[in-house]
Amino acid sequence: MSISMIPDDVIEDVFRRVAPRSLAVCRCVSRAWRALIDDRRLLLPRSLAGLFLNVNPLDKPEFLARPAADSTSSYHMPSYGMIDDHCNGLILQYDCVTNPATGQTVYLPNRPPLPLLDDKHFDGRGYLVFDPAESPHYQVFLIPYLYDHDGYSSSSTEVDHAHDALMQLEWPPSPFVLGVFSSRTGRWEERSLIRQGEAAGTVADDMRMLDVDPASNIIV
């Protein structure tokens, strides 16, 4: 395979693992590599002013920094729960996106109902998508997941059977209709995705992948 056929995102992922001195050598290999390294700012120094720590999902994240760190260290997150996601310097909490470097917070409109899914059994988790090299705008994808049946008690046998049946459905479905917020338009919209190939598994398989608690993590 010619190296020109390898996607830029894959090459970038490799470059990010290379020491700066070797990366500077790679920059001299070709115009394409030089443009990739420059456009994605892979050689720019990155300082660690501090980190956000999710200790308790019910409390706002703690910010830890050296006393000499810049003004970011004095920034306080909005009074919400845990950090749901982060991407290229932006942080997503339940209904707001924050840039800690500038202190700017944007509150999202109310989340829409989950398209084509029963809200009694499913909830949505937000995921942030942002690439400043491509666009100044970001998107939030609302990915549905099935409520953990063990997390609540139910005296309804009908509810139990419905939950068990949902656990056996293929995942992801096709078409997969998601709620997507765009900072370009400032509103939520539905986006339909068609699966390529077979399903990755079932809803039960997806729930096992979510066993790791996202409330306990470190955001650098």
Q: Answer yes or no: pTM beyond 0.75.
A: no
Look at residue 153 in the predicted model and tell me its pLDDT. Answer: 45
pLDDT, tens digit (0-9, with 9 covering 90-100), for 171-196: 777 888 889 999 999 999 999 888 88
The total of other beta-carbon atoms located within 10 Å of residue 195's CB is 14
**How is the beta sheet containing 122-130 ordered, strand by strand?**
122-130, 138-146, 176-182, 187-193
Look at residue 169 in the predicted model and tell me its pLDDT. Answer: 77
Look at residue 72 in the predicted model and tell me its pLDDT. Answer: 46
Please classify residue 8 by burial: count the beta carbons closer than 10 Å to its beta carbon, then call 0-12 exposed, 13-18 middle and 19+ buried: middle
The rounded mean pLDDT for the chain is: 76
Q: Angle formed by the axes of helices 31-39 and 8-15, to 10°?
A: 70
Q: Which of 65, 70, 136, 64 is nearest to 106 (CA)?
A: 136
Helices (H), the chain: 8-15, 20-26, 31-39, 157-167, 203-209
Which phi and psi angles does 14 have, rounded to 5°? -70, -45
| Ranges under pLDDT 50 in the chain | 69, 71-73, 151-155, 212, 214-216, 218, 220
Note if the bond before 109 is cis, omega within 30 degrees.
no
Q: Which long-range contacts (CB under 8 A, 24 or more apart) does 28-36 make?
A: 32/4, 36/8, 36/11, 36/12
Contact 37, 43 (CB under 8 A): yes
Q: Which amino acid is at 192?
A: S
pLDDT, tens digit (0-9, with 9 covering 90-100), for 23-51: 888 888 888 888 888 888 887 766 666 77
Contact 37, 29 (CB under 8 A): no
Q: Which pair of structure tokens corresponds to residue 178?
A: 């998601």
Alpha-carbon span 1 to 91, nearest angstrom: 38
Alpha-carbon span 170 to 105, nearest angstrom: 37
Gyration radius of the chain's alpha carbons: 21
Look at residue 92 in the predicted model and tell me its pLDDT. Answer: 92
Look at residue 216 in the predicted model and tell me its pLDDT. Answer: 47
For strands 104-107 and 96-99, give the pairing. antiparallel
Look at residue 69 in the predicted model and tell me its pLDDT. Answer: 47
Q: What ranges do the domains of the chain cover?
A: 3-39, 89-208
The upper half-sphere exposure of residue 167, i.e. CA atoms within 13 Å in the direction of its Cβ, equals: 14
